Amino acid sequence: MSRISFDRVADCYDATRALPPDALAAITGGIARALRDVAPAPSLLEVGVGTGRIAVPLATEGIRLTGIDIAPAMLAHLRAKRPEVAIALADATSLPFPSATFDGVLFVHILHLLPDPAAALRAAQAATRSDGILLYGRTDHAEHPRRQVIARARALVREIAGVDVASRERNHTADRTFADHARSVGAPLAQATLARWVEHFSGRGLLTALANRTYSSTWAISEAAMPELLRRLTPQVDALCGGLDRSIDSPAAFILLTARLPG
């Protein structure tokens, strides 16, 4: 698995990955509380900081934040929003910081995309002081018709394009990798649900996102395979959703896993 840069969607990232304001406030508040259990004025490194979707509200909460990413266009959007946030163009496995620089290191919606998440966690721990904290956040969607639609799309992608876009399995691998790292270093592992909300989608919206390659799971699909994929998928999505334009509610939750490092 190669490194994935989000520069190709930098201009639409915030619009397509926006969290509801109440959910975002609960998420950043929960992360800030976890950090302040470690230090009263915590310093945090966010790996894969991107456009600052999480970093900007955390900085507003008073967290001393540094962000790294491999995507310069994404970082440019963050710099335009909050020029005072320290950023660096860097890889998750080769952090440009001395040992024990931060009180915590945060991964949100990134660990499953890294070619070597275990190496990234080792690098994060090296950059974190003893008795610091590693944090890993992700969104979980309940069993729902949306999952049926996505599962059908993945099956067709494998058949037509020979590409595996099973990001849900990568999420499970990331969960296990984080838990395994915590156990290996003797760090107590905790899990909390910081926010719940309802997303709204339609079959047509999912097909449009697929055609526009809005999400990274679609980037490996060839241009040649896309028309056949959409042709065969459209009637199946129509049937699963009860109409392409029918609005469907999809419950979602933000899960935060934390590993408090030994002192």
Q: Where are the domains of the chain?
A: 7-142+166-199+251-260
> Which pLDDT score, from 0 to 100, does residue 143 have?
62
The Cα–Cα gap between 222 and 43 comes to 42
Joined tokens for residue 112: 């499953």
Domain 7-142+166-199+251-260 has CATH 3.40.50.150: yes
Joined tokens for residue 31: 């992360």
The Cα–Cα gap between 152 and 146 comes to 10
CB 201 within 8 A of CB 141: no
Which of 43, 51, 147 is CA-nearest to residue 103?
Answer: 43
Kindly give, in sequence order, each residue whose CB lies less than 8 Å from that of residue 217, ignoring residues fewer than 6 positions away: 165, 167
Print pLDDT tens along the chain (263 aa): 568 899 999 999 999 999 999 999 999 999 999 999 999 999 999 999 999 999 999 999 999 999 999 999 999 999 999 999 999 999 999 999 999 999 999 999 999 999 999 999 999 999 999 999 999 999 988 766 677 777 888 888 888 877 776 666 777 899 999 999 999 999 999 999 999 999 988 999 989 998 999 988 888 888 888 999 999 999 999 998 899 999 999 899 999 999 999 98
> Which pLDDT score, from 0 to 100, does residue 217 have?
81
Residue 80's alpha-carbon distances to 51, 71, 74, in angstroms, are: 9, 15, 10
DSSP state of 19: P
> Which pLDDT score, from 0 to 100, does residue 145 have?
66
Vertex 96, ends 94 and 102: CA angle to 5°? 105
DSSP state of 6: -
**Local structure of 172: helix, strand or coil:** helix
> Which pLDDT score, from 0 to 100, does residue 218 have?
84
> Which pLDDT score, from 0 to 100, does residue 147 have?
74
Q: List own/partner pairs for 94-100 with CB under 8 A and 24 or more apart.
A: 94/123, 95/45, 95/68, 95/123, 95/124, 95/126, 95/127, 96/68, 97/45, 97/66, 97/127, 98/127, 99/126, 99/127, 100/127, 100/128, 100/129, 100/130, 100/132
> Which pLDDT score, from 0 to 100, does residue 166 have?
61
Joined tokens for residue 177: 């990798």
Joined tokens for residue 119: 């190496």
> Which pLDDT score, from 0 to 100, does residue 65 have?
97
